[in-house]
Structure 1
Amino acid sequence: MERQEADCRAWAARHGLLVRQVHVDRGRSGYKSVTRKGFEAARRAVTSGVVRTLIVWKLDRLSRKGTAEVGPLLDAFDLIGGRLVSVMDGLDSSRPGDRLAMASLSEWARAEAEIQGERIRHAKRYLRSRGRWIGGQPPYGLRIDAESGQLTPDPETAVYARLIADEALSGRPLVKIARLLNEHEIAAPRGGL
C-alpha cells in the first residue's frame, strides 16, 4: 500500500496536483459486495466538486466489479468535469479513448476476480476432500499436523478442550466453566487466565 501511495503522490507532483486526501479500504475487496468507506469518500470528493481528480494506482485497485461500477463513476465524474487517473495503467479519463480502455480494463479485472475466486474455491474443496485444514487458527484442543496438514489432538490442550465440552454438555453455565479453568490456572487459547 505504501508503494502504491508513493507512486500516486509522485504522479500528482509531476502534474502539479496537491494530494488532499488518501482514501484506503484496507482488507476490503473491490470485488465483493461490502461497504468500502474509502471508495465512497473518494467518489463523493469528486462528485461534490471538492476535488477534480481521483488518482488510483491501478484500475483494479479501485474496483473489480466491471463497468457496472466503473461506468457510472466515470459518468458522474464527467458531469462535473472530474476525471479518473490510473497511474500504472497510464490512463486518464479526460483523454479521448482512455475511457474506453478503462471500461475494458474494469471488465478484465472483474473476470480475473471471478476466475481467481473459482480457483481458490476449487483448491479448498480439494484440500477438504483430503481432510486437510485449510486455514486459520485451529480450534482449541487441536493442532495442524505438519506432515499431513490434518487436524490432530494437541497434547497440551486436548484434555482441557474435552473438559470444557463435557462441562458445557452437562449444562454447566459458561461463566462457571471459565471460573473452573481460572481456578486451575488453565490458560486461555491466546494466553492469559
Structure 2
Amino acid sequence: MIAMRRQTVEQGRYLGGRPPYGYRLVDAGPHPNRALARRGVRRQQLAPDPAIAHVVKLIFHLRLAGHSKAAIARHLNEQGIPGPSH
C-alpha cells in the first residue's frame, strides 16, 4: 500500500479505477515498466475535465458558503446537472 501511495504522489501515476468526478484520464507517456512499454502499454494520469470543471467549482463554492451536502445535491438536481455516473 505504501509503494502504491508513493507511485501516486511522487510519480503522479494513476493506479486505476474510475477517475474522480471532474477529472479524466490522459496519456502520460510510455509505461515505466520496459516490458509493458514494448507491448505498447501507456501510462495514464488524471487531468481536470474541462467539461465538468465548472460543476466542481460550483460544488466547492456552495460548500464553502455553508450549504450541506444534501442541499448541494438538491441544487445540482434542480439545475439538471448530471451526476458522475452519467
Common fold by TM > 0.5? yes
The 3-state SS of whatever aligns with 1:145 is strand
Matched positions, count: 71
Secondary structure of 1:144 counterpart: strand
Instruction: Specify which structure has the higher proportion of helix.
Output: 1
Higher strand share: 2
> Secondary structure in 2 aligned to 1:175?
helix
1:129 and 2:10 equivalent? Answer: yes
Q: How big is the shift at 1:157?
A: 1.1
Q: What is the TM-score of this pair, normalised by structure 1?
A: 0.33
Deviations 1:15-61, CA, capped at 9 Å, x for gaps: xxxxxxxxxxxxxxxxxxxxxxxxxxxxxxxxxxxxxxxxxxxxxxx
Structure 2 unaligned residues grouped into runs of 5+? 30-43
1:133, 1:150 within 8 Å by CA — same for their partners in 2? yes
Say if 1:142 and 1:151, in contact at 8 Å, map to a contact too.
yes
Structure 1 runs not aligned, ≥5 long? 1-119
2:27 aligns to what SS in structure 1?
A: coil
Q: Which amino acid aligns with 1:126?
A: Q
Counterparts of residues 34-183 of structure 1 (less than 5 Å): 122=3, 124=4, 125-147=6-28, 149-183=44-78
Q: Do the aligned residues in 2 keep the contact of 1:140 with 1:158 (CA within 8 Å)?
A: no
What is the TM-score with the length of structure 2 in the denominator? 0.67
Percent of residue pairs bearing the same amino acid type:
39
Provide the aligned C-alpha RMSD in A.
Answer: 2.0
Q: Tell me: higher relative CO, structure 1 or 2? Use CA pairs within 8 A at least 6 residues apart.
A: 2
